[in-house]
Structures are given as C-alpha cells and as structure tokens.
Amino acid sequence: MPETTRGAAAERVAPLTRGTSILGGIGNTPLLRIRMFEKELPGVAVFGKAEFLNAGGSVKDRAALRMIRDGEASGELTPDRIILDSTSGNTGIAYAMVGAALGYRVRLVMPTNVSAERKALIAAYGAEIVYSDAQEGSDGAIVLAQKMRADNPGTYYMPDQYNNPSNWRAHYDGTGAEIWEQTDGAVTHFVATLGTSGTFMGVSRRLRDERAAMARAASSAGSRGHSRRGSPLRLVGPAAKTRFRRGWYLRMFNAAAAHVLRPPCHPNG
C-alpha cells in the first residue's frame, strides 16, 4: 500500500464500545502498522489486522458466530441440538465460547495432540471434547465427527467449517469490509495464510469487488512433506480449498515462518 495514500487512517484503531454480550467483542479489530519491511520497501505501508483482539482470541470467532447464527436462521440449529464439529484448536475455542454465550451444548472432535492450552480453554467454556487419533491429524477428526453425525442425525447440528459458505461470507461481510473502510479504499494487496481458506476467500472476494485489480497472495505453513497440521496432506472435505483461482500461492515451512514473523514482536509491540 503506497504510503502517500494512507493519510490519517494509518494509525486508526477500532473505537471502544460497551456491549451486552461477549459476542459484541467479535469483529471491528484494528489495523496495526508493521514497520519491519520499510527499509527494503520505502514508500510502502504494511498493516496487519489484529484478529487476536477478538473476544475468543482469533479470527475464527467471526466464522464460528456466523455459522451458528446462520444455522439458527435456517432452522438446522435448534435448542435441543448439540453443536458438533472437528477442529484443531482456534475454531473449537470459538465454537465453545459462542455456544456458551447462546446457551448451546458444544461437542468437539480434536486430535489427542492438540495443545494443553487449547484443551483447557475449550473445557473452561463448558464444551465437551471427543479425541481422535493424533496420527490421523485433522482428517481423522473430520471423519470421526461425520460418523457421529451420521449415527445420530437428530442429535447434532454440524456447521462443517471446511465446507460451509457461511465461513467465507463472515469475512466477506465483516473482515474484508473493515479492511476496505479502515484503509479508506487505499489497500492494493492482501496476504493471508490458509486453514479452511475462509478468511482468504471471503476477504479477497470482498476486496476484489471493491477494486478489480486487487492483488492477493495465499500462504500455508507446515513441516516438509506434511500438511500444515502435521498429517499427510489428504484434504478430506476440501471444497473451500479448491476455490482459489487467480493470485499467488506461497508455501512456507514452519522454521522459515517463525524466522520471519518473530522479529515484529520487538519493534511493533
């Protein structure tokens, strides 16, 4: 983004508001200036969307809330049904938080090797955890969750984060619209990492609708020869991941990603 087009919006932050629910703390996150590239790229301003400031601590709060609300609107999610999905962490935390706020039971399928911190957060919100084989990674969790729903179809509402269009629509209507407004329409490039791909697809679609020449780059990180989550790359339920058509795709391994991303913590706070 050219420095000269930013104006007063460069240091803009989201306004403080008073809400009646923790769900009011989802969205409207600020843009933070990242200065580590300025010596190499003078005149270019780089900003990061501070999604860690969402109520549940990640960008996944947006999609979880949207999928649950859309499930209510469609009649698929009713008070007697349990919210069920597979997760490797952040979406599970978001489901658990939103479910607790709205009064739903939440049951999540996770590989046994998910971090203790994520397990503790999910349990603190009152959600139930069903563990899948760590060697099967996220694919194994997806398969087990699908079997649980098939065995008890009247018991569960399964948002299916990997294939639910409400995932990317949360970012089309929310994250992408915020970025456009916060930059006063000056943004020219958008970069995001891929998980379910909902953030990348929703934001990039919104920004391309605003500016047809918007440049987009998607990135994923992982160990060599493995998927981002550490299991062989089989991509069960990859519908969302097949929609990327034009732009750049960058493959970055964990060690390289850490080397690039850790320095900003010092000069940028």
* Cα 258 from Cα 260, distance rounded (Å): 5
Residues belonging to the active site:
60
43, 3 Cβ separation under 8 angstroms? yes
Taking CA atoms, 228 is separated from 35, 93, 94, 263, in Å, by 27, 19, 20, 22
The amino acid occupying position 103 is G
Q: In what order do the strands lie in the sheet with 82-86?
A: 128-132, 106-111, 82-86, 156-157
Nearest CA among 45, 159, 40 for reference residue 108: 159
Q: Which two tokens stand for residue 98?
A: 């939103």
- Which helix (H) or strand (E) element contains residue 131? strand 128-132
Residue in the structure block whose two tokens are 């979406």 = 91
Q: Using alpha carbons only, give the angle 31, 16, 199 rounded to the nearest 5 degrees.
A: 40
Q: Which runs of E-coded beta strand occur in 180-255? A: 189-193, 215-222, 248-253
* Cα 98 from Cα 21, distance rounded (Å): 10
* Cα 25 from Cα 11, distance rounded (Å): 20
